[in-house]
Amino acid sequence: MLVLVIISGTAGYMLIEGWGFQDALYMTVISITTVGYKEVHPMSRTGEFFTMGVLTVGVATVLYTFSFVMARVVEGDLQHRWVIRRRERMLDELTEHFIICGFGRIGRIIADEFARQRIPFVIIERNPDRVHEALESGYLAVEADASSEQALSRIGVLRARGLIAAVGSDAENVYAVLSARLMRPDLFIIGRAETEDAKVKLTRAGANRVVSPYQIGGLQLAQTALRPAVVDFVQIVTSSENLELNIEQVTIGPDAAFVGRSLIDAALRQRFSVVVVGIKRTDGRMEFNPPPEMVMRAGDQLVVLGRADNLRDLAAVASAKGS
């Protein structure tokens, strides 16, 4: 309304008095703001009547606009809108991120770990209280159904690195996995299963990996009882809190200099101070404790142990085009 009054007043002075654009705009602004300055140029009777109309409509519009803005500021509505717009902008900018379906006990643990490792992610949860908890924790979250294709599209499933279905219900996880797989046939999907039957259904729905928290928890307890030193070592090398030693997987790019070379020829230990624990071949086979003569191929995934900065250097070289 305010913009319309300014445009109308400016156009009116230009047509009635024949003023230039700058003079007409100046006269309109000083009129509706009631500053009381002198007229820019002497006006005709028609111009005076037009000015009275501009003053009447313009002052009312300015007062209404001011009261509207102040009410929104006091009520916090503007801040809420800015937060929503900022969140939408962050969703649009997300790429190579993970989608966490559900923010229960498992989803919270996943989000905390991703946050510690500075992995981009977004949470999709239909419980408003849990969405509020995620936002209060500083995480990007959306209140929606994880099985909705429209919701998945909104949070960038077409640009995502992977999806983790960690909703409390097996049925919801199956639907979420199925919807994501239909939208992204190449997406890496992990599903949470409570029962053996759910494992089969999640696999059929398109999950690349199916994890049972109860099974993993039971195995962890058994291994801790039988081999506590081994469990401690694994926790140290896989924990994001450990800054000295990490274990990571590094993918050999198709044009990397490592392709067709053996481990000893590539001199990974000497150049990057890392230990190759295993090599996962493209056909799924895992070569544990590979000998120095083992040849690396494009698409292989090296399971390596070393310092974080050395692992980053190795990953950069492994994905770069070789000379």
- CATH number for the domain spanning 39: value is 1.10.287.70
Give me the residues paired with residue 164 across strands: 100, 190
Residue 225 lies in a domain: no
Cβ 279 vs Cβ 286: under 8 Å:
yes
Decide if pLDDT at 323 tops 50.
Answer: no
Residue 232 lies in a domain: no
Res 206: pLDDT: 93
Query: 101 and 70 in one domain?
Result: no
Write down which residue in 211, 230, 263 finishes a domain: 211
Strand duo 162-165 + 98-101: pairing: parallel
Give the percent of the chain with pLDDT over 90: 40
115: domain CATH number is: 3.40.50.720
Query: 110 and 71 in one domain?
Result: no
Query: 175 and 140 in one domain?
Result: yes
Write down which residue in 158, 192, 211 finishes a domain: 211
Write down which residue in 157, 191, 211 finishes a domain: 211
Decide if pLDDT at 59 tops 50.
Answer: yes
Tokens of 218: 């039971």
Query: 175 and 101 in one domain?
Result: yes
Residue 257 lies in a domain: yes
Residue that is written with structure tokens 């770069």 in the block: 320
Residue 227 lies in a domain: no
Distance CA 33, CA 82 (A): 28
Q: What is the pLDDT of residues 207-263, one digit of tens each?
A: 999 999 888 888 888 988 988 887 787 777 666 555 567 788 899 988 888 999 999
Residue 43 lies in a domain: yes
| pTM across the whole model | 0.62
Residue 218 lies in a domain: no
Res 241: pLDDT: 58
How many domains is the chain partitioned into structurally?
A: 3
Which domain covers residue 127, as residue numbers? 94-211
Using alpha carbons, list the distances in angstroms from residue 204 to 117, 169, 216, 264.
Answer: 31, 17, 21, 41
